[in-house]
Amino acid sequence: GKVIFNGHIVDREKAIIHIEDRGFQFGDGVYEVIRIYNGKPFTLKEHIDRLYASAQKIYMEIPYSKQEVKDLIINLLEQESASTCNLYLQISRGVVPRNHVIPETASPTLIGYLMPGTRPVDLMKTGGKAVITEDLRWHYCDIKSISLLGAVLAKKKATDAGCLEAILHRDGIITEGSSTNIWMVQNGKLFTHPANQFILNGITRQKVISLLDFNQLPYEETGFTVEQLQNADELFLTSTTMEIIPIVEVDGVKIGNGTPGDVTRKLQTLFEREIEHECGH
């Protein structure tokens, strides 16, 4: 197959990363995962904007225009006859002799390729389980950094417990999941952590907020406690690849009556309409 490599579309075998690439050695880079439905990218502009915002936060200048990156993506989707899958896009600082100091001249390494991925339709219906664990990541969670060890170690806690996700808390306040944003419904109102340095402002999170605004559903971007989460009427997570997944059990205890709630299911329907509207179905 073909991949995006430094401004071109090349055969996958031709895309080879240097041992002194700072992405490889320092985790010095940023990335995006973009959902492709029926060969069409969903919320492409939002993802590209966030990639450039992440790059700016780490003092990296992307040597391509946003339009050039979008064109590369559209080109790749065409050449690969993409259907429903995920696009992984990463840009690292580039290749320079190993040194912590950010080099003044380095030419960033851009890669992009398609990964298989179907919609998690069963999980959407039945919901998944989660564990709660301390958020031991750093304080730059708003940057979509390729340094993911904190997230990887948190996710291990979930999978070791046979769960889908690890829900993280800082000093008793729920931040987000290891790779998802977390939402609570209490008395018909939705709550999610504000978009600051303690969470990644998910594109799916932002899409849900726009749906809440448009449909005049009450919500607050406010942190809530572990105890509030345990006593929530409904819980769900959002992410590009998982969309909206009910969380029906946390640390072995049922949330609400242990089945997906009405507000969550309504949002799933509204979200599905957005996908259909943007990408057909």
State which of residues 92, 240, 264, 268 lies at the interface with ligand PMP (CB under 6 A): 240
Residue (29 or 94) nearer to ligand PMP, CB? 29
Residue (202 or 261) nearer to ligand PMP, CB? 202
Contact by Cβ (8 Å): 132, 229: yes
Q: Which residue is catalytic, options 14, 40, 45, 144? A: 144
Residue (203 or 247) nearer to ligand PMP, CB? 203
155 is catalytic: no
State which of residues 200, 247, 248, 267 lies at the interface with ligand PMP (CB under 6 A): 200
Per-residue binder mask for ligand PMP (CB under 6 A), 138-157, x = binder: -------------x------
Residue (94 or 112) nearer to ligand PMP, CB? 112
Q: Is 94 left (phi over 0), alpha (psi -120 to 50) or beta?
A: left
Q: Which residue is nearest to ligand PMP (CB)?
A: 202
Q: Does 109 bind ligand PMP (CB under 6 A)?
A: no
Contact by Cβ (8 Å): 92, 29: yes
Q: Does 176 bind ligand PMP (CB under 6 A)?
A: yes
Q: Does 90 bind ligand PMP (CB under 6 A)?
A: no
Q: Please give the positions annotated as active site.
A: 144
Give residues in contact with ligand PMP (CB under 6 A).
Answer: 33, 151, 176, 179-181, 200, 202-205, 238-240
